[in-house]
């Protein structure tokens, strides 16, 4: 908990807030990227190099690009005339507060369940690789299968539209 933490936290929260509050959708996507970058900096601050760089590579390099492409290729890039707030924002606020409360409760209670670490653990990329290929290989394969299925599904959905129009 030092000044770097508060600096990155301010940046991340500001990025997240801007992503919700800005009117222009592309600006929102760019603000979301700032929040992603802030999260990556958090990982790096915790000495998790692999997670931090993977966050940058996947979220800034791919997910953010995907979002802006989706905005540009659909008809969502026009700036709305009126307010950006939805009419039932009160319900949204309640749900968000509920989710936040559950997450906060889970995080605060996890300290008593997990083994108590005295020193910060040093994890190398080699260890992560060994764990992914050894102990966690089944979850990894399941995730890979799920992503492949999603990819094929997306292609089929995109192609189907064309056959129908002919």
Binding positions for another protein, rule: CB under 8 A:
26-27, 30, 33, 49-50, 53-54, 56-57, 60-62, 64-65, 68-69, 72, 124-126, 162
Angle at 89 between CA 86 and CA 93, to 5 degrees: 145
- Radius of gyration, alpha carbons of the chain: 20
CB atoms within 10 A of CB 77: 13
Minimal distance, residue 6 CB to another protein, in Å: 22
From the list 52, 54, 76, the residue with the least C-alpha distance to 63 is: 54
65 or 94: CB nearest another protein: 65
Minimal distance, residue 41 CB to another protein, in Å: 12
From the list 26, 9, 132, the residue with the least C-alpha distance to 70 is: 26
- Using CA atoms, how far apart are residues 49 and 145, in angstroms rounded to an integer? 26
115 or 164: CB nearest another protein: 164
35 or 64: CB nearest another protein: 64
Minimal distance, residue 53 CB to another protein, in Å: 4
16 or 27: CB nearest another protein: 27
Minimal distance, residue 132 CB to another protein, in Å: 13
Contact criterion met (CB below 8 Å) for 149 and 156: no
């Amino acid at each position: 908990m030092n000044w770097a933490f508060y600096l990155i936290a301010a940046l991340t929260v500001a990025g997240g807030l801007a992503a919700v509050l800005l009117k222009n959708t592309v600006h929102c996507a760019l603000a979301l990227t700032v929040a992603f970058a802030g999260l990556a900096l958090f990982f790096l601050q915790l000495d998790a190099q692999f997670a931090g760089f993977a966050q940058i590579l996947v979220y800034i390099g791919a997910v953010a690009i995907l979002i802006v492409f989706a905005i540009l290729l659909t008809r969502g890039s026009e700036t709305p005339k009126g307010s950006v707030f939805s009419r039932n924002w009160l319900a949204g606020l309640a749900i968000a507060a509920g989710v936040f409360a559950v997450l906060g409760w889970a995080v605060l209670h996890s300290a008593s369940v997990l083994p108590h670490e005295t020193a910060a653990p040093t994890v190398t990329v080699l260890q992560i690789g060994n764990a992914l290929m050894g102990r966690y290989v089944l979850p990894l394969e399941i995730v890979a299968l799920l992503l492949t299925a999603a990819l094929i599904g997306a292609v089929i959905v995109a192609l189907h539209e064309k056959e129908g129009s002919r």
